[in-house]
Structure 1
Amino acid sequence: MLISLYRGVTTLGGPLIDLYLGRRKARGKEDPLRFPERRGHASVPRPHGPLVWIHAASVGESLSMLPLLRHLRETRPGLRLLLTTGTVTSARMMADRLPEGCTHQYVPVDRIRFVRRFLDHWRPDMVLWAESEFWPNMLTEVRRRRVPLVLLNGRVSDRSYRSWQRFRGVIGPLLAGFTLCLGQTQDDAERLATLGAPACECLGNLKFAAPPLPADEDALGRLRRVLGDRPVWLAASTHAGEEEMAARLHHTLAQKHPGLLTIVVPRHAHRGDELRPELEAEDLVVAQRSRGEMPEAKVDLFLGDTMGEMGLFFRLAPVVFVGKSLIGHGGQNPLEAARLGCAVVMGPHMDNFAEMTRRMVTGGAALQVGSEGELALTVDRLLRDEAERRHLGDRGHDFATQEMVVLERVVDRLAPLLDAAERQAHARA
């Protein structure tokens, strides 16, 4: 009933959807050159042969799918691979990192007309759906076409689980369309089964299979020469409110660590220009990466408002605070910093990575704080105590790299489904 209502509203609400998309485009949240893709108009022809479509909502999900895409490209050269994402940031990042021979498109907005246009063009032989973005029209249309559908790295946070339990009439039919659901954790798999998924398993979290984030060696060398032996800490993937917090912490920490440089990397790089005056109002000298400025000796705060350079900033800072975890809710992926040997500190709100956070903290691979004051004390201690900092970084690195075998498990589980999809595609051809 609710799904039918949703389908009706998204059909009749076309003008409102167009208005919404227009506003997003005006704010830079839609790609003006590829905007027709959001309406289901493909910008490139469909390649010949069996095609597997992988959908990953944004940056984090698409990065976790890259190892699988590379593996499929190498081991199944006859398979065509299509990756869709929904954000401008993820599309730009995938332009640099997507394996050769893979195609990227923006996922269409979840309106039946757009969805059918997309599916009519691409005619996928199998769909791999990443994590937790369940679009009713898209999933319903895929099921109607009897296309095998697999959920990879499925995630159901505590908040989402409570919400979906109130709307079982929506989530149940959507999950019933999946041939297989692979949860990030055993808890995720059990929650998916409770909500209506017919076949659920846990083989591990594909985020563990991701390689270290890259960094331009020339840029890294120049920045290291400019920094010299200055103490450095990083607030990574920050959200509104956390940048001002980092500014306050800089004043507190700089009294104990002369020459301190605070690096702030907002989760959304386009916020850089609006953040700069706010940070300068905190009586800080700011250098902005997007303007080509360098963190000279007089600079207090280095604003990393560029895309695709998080690996660069992680290599500059031995101590990293994970954003969206103290003021925001949900947290960001702590593995990216841990994989590069950083001493990782997180706030209490890590709901999106709850099991991973629990394991890292109990295993001594990260520290968790409950307040801004506690964060200041923890960063101060780690900057002073090199032995503790290195030990925490080493434990984090070991944790982040110990489960890379998860990719092999997932590939082995997908193999018979991929074989069947390829056979059916060749039979139809």
Structure 2
Amino acid sequence: MILCKNNKIRSLKLNIFTKYYFSVVLNDMSTLYNLLMIKVMVLLSILKIFNLKIRKFINERKNVFQVLQKEISKSEKYIWIHVASLGEYEQGLPVFKEIKSLYKNHKIVLSFFSSSGYNARKNNPISDLTVYIPIDTYKNANRFLDIIKPDIALFVKYEFWPNFLLSLKKRNIPTYLIAGLFRENHWIFKFYGFWMRKILKSFSHLFVQNNNSMKVLSKFNFNNCSIMGDSRYDRVMTLLDQNNEVSFVNEFKNSRTCIVAGSTWKEDDDLILKFINSHLFNDTCWIIAPHQINLKYIEKIQQKVKSNSILLSELNSENFQNIDIIFVDSVGLLTKLYAYADISYVGGGMGNTGLHNTLEPAVFKIPVVIGKTFEKFPEVSDLINLNGIISIRNYDSFKTKINELIQSNDKRDEMGEINYNYIKSNQGATKKVITYLNEKK
């Protein structure tokens, strides 16, 4: 009896010590993180003198609070949605639209981290105000939330900003992660990621994309999560209903087989240009859309091709004839251009930059060719196994597969049907999220 009491006392002491130890460590980690962020801001303020990109990064965020104070009304209710960039915005868009309908008496503040996402969607049909997210310091996070006072906050996929999340939790603001994707080998789930796992506990609910993500979170005692699927499937299906006309592209294509290479990087462009210069097909045309719209770079690769080419911005009724290649020099048109494709190539997989969205071309019932790196994208692995997507490792495999697709209508049709049916069967993520939020309303 005495032994049993002693064991209980020791166990109680251990629990108290463990909680105290981790609270101290977590506080220390928060302090270290905030000191680091202050140092980062100081460093950026120095480096901006010498670096144009850093100067642009600082200047873009300089007036965020002035804009908020001017535009935010104390008499209005707000929902805050944060995305990293354009890809996350597009992924969450079906959910955002339904939230706008569900919370008709609220206004929406949308924030971006990246300048490319902000510039592409600063004018959008969802938000009443679009801004950059301030750098994640304790002071910035609290000032941001003090002004907006959101009733709900939503983050998409990978956006875990400690100060913002902790401040939201402290204020008891319901905070949701949409389309979360977790892998067991991610650093958050290593022994040294315990602090970030604690930050993740700030979310009221985590909507994850797949069963594997759910298993990983459950292993680390996350009980506030559910599988929603991937709202990108809902999003890309809507591309079929939008107006996909781009001036004079149909005339440019005519009856030729059109290959659209989207979001390409240098490693992708090297393969494509080599192929074009050694395979001059009279019945084939190309549309190449580099990921970064850099006119100097586009002019450089344009000079490397032997075939007649033109910038999309220069295409008109008088010059579309005898052109074999269009180089896209404007943003926001890629999904429309995929509608003209018979074959698509999606960039980012030949280097280390990260594969871009393969579902956008796939929904148009066309085959998709990608580079060698795709492991982080479960839908790509699925479609490779189903023979809807082809992964190439080098120029020789690129040449072989593109030639096969150019020469076989049946092969293209078969792969296109596989891709479309896969997307269609995976719809429904948006409905799951909105059903949950409606119950919590």
Pairwise TM-score range, normalised by the shorter structure: 0.7 to 0.9
Matched-pair contact (CA < 8 Å) for 2:346–2:369 = yes
Q: 1:123 aligns with which of 149, 152, 169?
A: 149
Shift in CA distance, 362/32, structure 1 to aligned 2, threshold 3 Å: same
Match of 1:252 in 2: 278
Q: Please list, as runs of the form range in 1=range in 2, the aligned pairs for 1:180-199 lying within 5 A after superposition.
A: 180-194=205-219, 197-199=222-224
Q: CA deviation at 1:265?
A: 0.9
Distance 1:413 1:253, change over 3 A: farther
- The one-letter code matched in structure 1 to 2:232 is K
Partner of 1:64: 91
> SS state of the match for residue 82, structure 1?
strand
Q: 1:39 to 1:190 in 2, by over 3 A?
A: farther
Match of 1:424 in 2: none
Shift of 1:235: 1.5
Question: What's the counterpart of residue 437 of structure 2?
Answer: 414
For residues 291-333 of structure 1, give each alpha carbon's deviation from its aligned partner in whole angstroms, at most 9, with x where no partner exists: 5578744444321121110122202221011111123353112
In structure 1, the partner of 2:105 is 78
Q: What is the match of residue 382 of structure 1?
A: 405
Q: Which amino acid aligns with 2:257?
A: P
* 1:324 has 2:319 as partner: no
Query: How far apart are the structure 2 equivalents of 1:89 and 1:42?
Result: 24
> 1:72: Cα distance to partner?
1.8
Could you tell me whether the CA contact under 8 Å between 2:277 and 2:305 is conserved in 1? no
Shift of 1:197: 3.8
Tell me the residue number matched to 1:286: 309
SS at match of 1:114: helix
Q: Partners in 1 of 2:65 and 2:346 — Cα distance?
A: 31
- CA distance 1:97–1:402, shift in 2 (3 Å): farther
Output the amino acid matched with 2:394: S
Which segment drifts farther, 391-400 or 85-94? 85-94
Q: 1:200 to 1:307 in 2, by over 3 A?
A: same
* Aligned partner (choices 86, 90, 110) of residue 136 of structure 2: 110
Following superposition, the deviation at residue 22 of structure 1 comes to 6.9
Aligned-partner Cα distance in 2 for 1:95–1:401: 30
Partner of 1:311: 335
Does the aligned pair in 1 maintain the 2:233–2:424 contact within 8 Å? yes
3-state SS, counterpart of residue 351 of structure 1: coil
Determine the C-alpha separation between the residues in 2 that align with 1:261 and 1:23: 43
Q: Could you give the per-residue CA deviations for residues 255-313 of structure 1, whole angstroms, max 9, x where no partner exists?
A: xx3253222111222x2332321341354543122455787444443211211101222
Larger radius of gyration: 2
Contact 1:182 1:201 in 2 (8 A): yes
Q: Secondary structure of 1:150's partner? A: strand
CA contact (8 A) 1:153 1:184 kept: yes
Residue 380 of structure 2: which of 326, 346, 357 is its match? 357
Q: Is the 8 Å Cα contact of residues 180 and 200 (structure 1) preserved in structure 2?
A: yes
Question: Contact conserved, 2:348 with 2:356, CA < 8 A, in 1?
Answer: yes
Residue in structure 2 matched with residue 426 of structure 1 by the alignment:
none
Aligned residues between the structures? 411
Aligned residue identity for 1:392: M
> Is it true that 1:371 corresponds to 2:398 in the alignment?
no
Distance 1:29 1:291 in 2: 29
Is 1:133 aligned to 2:159, yes or no?
A: yes
Asked whether the 8 Å contact 1:181–1:189 carries over to 2, the reply is no
Structure 1: runs of 5 or more not aligned: 420-429
Q: Is the partner of 1:401 in helix, strand or coil?
A: helix
Structure 2 counterpart of 1:204 = 229
Letter in 2 for 1:250: I
**In the alignment, is the contact (CA less than 8 A) between 2:231 and 2:428 conserved in 1?**
no
- The letter for the 1-side match of 2:414 is H
Q: CA deviation at 1:117?
A: 1.9
Distance 1:398 1:13, change over 3 A: closer
Whether the 8 Å CA contact 2:79–2:152 is kept in 1: the answer is yes
Shift of 1:79: 2.6
Supply the AA of the counterpart residue of 1:238.
Answer: T
For residues 395 and 70 of structure 2, the distance between their equivalents in structure 1, rounded to whole angstroms, comes to 47
Question: How has the CA–CA distance of structure 1 residues 195 and 57 changed in structure 2, closer, same or farther, with 3 Å as cutoff?
Answer: farther
Worse-matched range after superposition: 30-39 or 342-351: 30-39
Q: Which residue of 1 aligns with 2:371?
A: 347
CA distance in 2, matches of 1:166, 1:293: 59
- Structure 2 gaps of 5+ residues are 1-27
Partner of 2:175: 149
Conserved 8 A contact 1:208-1:403 = yes
CA contact (8 A) 2:245 2:336 kept: no
Listed one character per residue, the Cα deviations across residues 327-366 of structure 1 (whole Å, up to 9, x for unaligned) are 335311211111122211222311331x111222223332
C-alpha displacement of 1:26? 5.0
Give distance in 1, aligned partners of 2:279 and 2:187. 40
Going from structure 1 to structure 2, the CA distance change for 1:50 and 1:64 (only over 3 Å counts) comes to same
8 A Cα contact 2:134 2:140, kept in partner: yes
Partner of 1:18: 45
Amino acid at match of 1:225: E
Task: Find the partner of 2:193 among 149, 158, 168.
Answer: 168
Q: 2:19 — aligned with what?
A: none
